[in-house]
Amino acid sequence: MTSAQIIRIDLAYKGTHFRGFAETPGVPTVGGEIRSAIQQVLGEPIDLAVAGRTDAGVHASGQVISFRTTSDRFDPERLRNSINRICGPDIQVHDIRTVEANFDARFSAARRLYHYNVLNSPVADPLRSDIEWHIKEPLNIDEMNQAAQRFLGQHDFTSFCRRPKGKPEASLVRTIHRAEWHLFPKHRIQFEVAANAFCHQMVRSLVGFCVAVGTNKRLAQDVETVLIAKDRSLATHIAPPHGLTLVHVSYPQHD
């Protein structure tokens, strides 16, 4: 038995076949798969902290988890190779390292960056249909950016979040640092959004609202009214999960 160490793992996964990250009995989850693999290698139970609890069908290219171990079996390279063998190809670890004792993948994170991918074309792409939202109707990117800019700063996002179960008093105030749409070749557009943290379904709700603006179903200036109202029923357009990817998590005090 060795002294306790805090381990950080940087990983990516395709969320198509998982019911999200958080463990749920009886269904496949990213957290359940990777925790089981780690315990198999280290020979001891562990508790995982995760930077972003992605929903069912959501992907990650820059997810971060951490855990405490006292196992004398810990070897970074061996653990990485074992996890990738056990959990691949849908889950792959990029890096494993020992970090400071006060590091926590969730609570030490200062900013999360997500991308949401859309194919705006009359015809879908079957090779990417599980990682992008196909929208046939032409989108007005300028109007969508007008809406996105109104999300910047600190706001109560009650209207754009699903409130956590059993936590009626939980704060849904978040600070958005970046929110913009980018146009790419071959009819693809991408929403880039960064914040200190996100609440449940928040990014998908922001995307859905922007798309409603881009198809003239809402106005960009409606954003302020909906934010102030703190009423979930006023922002019912929710983008499907499969276009969303957690891209990066920032730890200024630890990186």
Structure tokens that stand for 225 in this block: 């009214």
Is the per-residue pLDDT at 166 higher than 70?
Answer: no
- Rg over CA atoms, the chain: 19
What is the enclosing helix (H) or strand (E) of 204?
Answer: helix 202-214
If we measure between CA atoms, which residue out of 71, 67, 53, 70 comes closest to residue 15? 53
For position 255, what pLDDT does the model report? 67
For position 10, what pLDDT does the model report? 98
For position 163, what pLDDT does the model report? 80
Cα(31)–Cα(21) distance, rounded to whole angstroms?
A: 5
In the chain, pLDDT over 70 holds for what percent of residues?
A: 98
Indicate the range of 103-112, 169-178, 205-214 predicted with least confidence. Answer: 169-178
Cα(125)–Cα(35) distance, rounded to whole angstroms?
A: 34
Cα(192)–Cα(118) distance, rounded to whole angstroms?
A: 12
The verdict on whether omega for the bond into residue 89 sits within 30 degrees of 0, i.e. cis, is yes
For position 237, what pLDDT does the model report? 86
Categorize the per-residue pLDDT at 236 as very low, low, confident or very high, splitting at 50, 70 and 90: confident
Is the per-residue pLDDT at 1 higher than 80?
Answer: no
* Residues labelled as active-site residues: 55
Asked if the domains 5-99 and 111-250 are classified in one and the same CATH topology, the answer is yes
What's the first-to-final CA gap in the chain, in angstroms? 28
200 burial level (CB within 10 Å; 0-12, 13-18, 19+): middle
Q: How does DSSP classify residue 240?
A: -
* pLDDT tens-digit series, residues 7-59: 999 999 999 999 999 999 999 999 999 999 999 999 999 999 999 999 999 99
Neighbours of 171 (CB within 10 A): 10
Categorize the per-residue pLDDT at 248 as very low, low, confident or very high, splitting at 50, 70 and 90: very high
* pLDDT tens-digit series, residues 55-74: 999 999 999 999 999 999 99
Place of tokens 């992008």: 132
Categorize the per-residue pLDDT at 116 as very low, low, confident or very high, splitting at 50, 70 and 90: very high
CATH class of segment(s) 5-99:
alpha beta
* pLDDT tens-digit series, residues 120-153: 999 999 999 999 999 999 999 999 999 999 999 9
Q: How far is CA 14 from the centre of its chain?
A: 12
Structure tokens that stand for 101 in this block: 């004792």
Contact, 228 vs 189, CB < 8 A? no
* pLDDT tens-digit series, residues 173-207: 999 999 999 999 999 999 999 999 999 999 999 99
pTM of the predicted protein model: 0.95
The residues spanned by each domain of the chain are 5-99, 111-250
Which CATH code for domain 111-250?
Answer: 3.30.70.660
Is the per-residue pLDDT at 254 higher than 90?
Answer: no
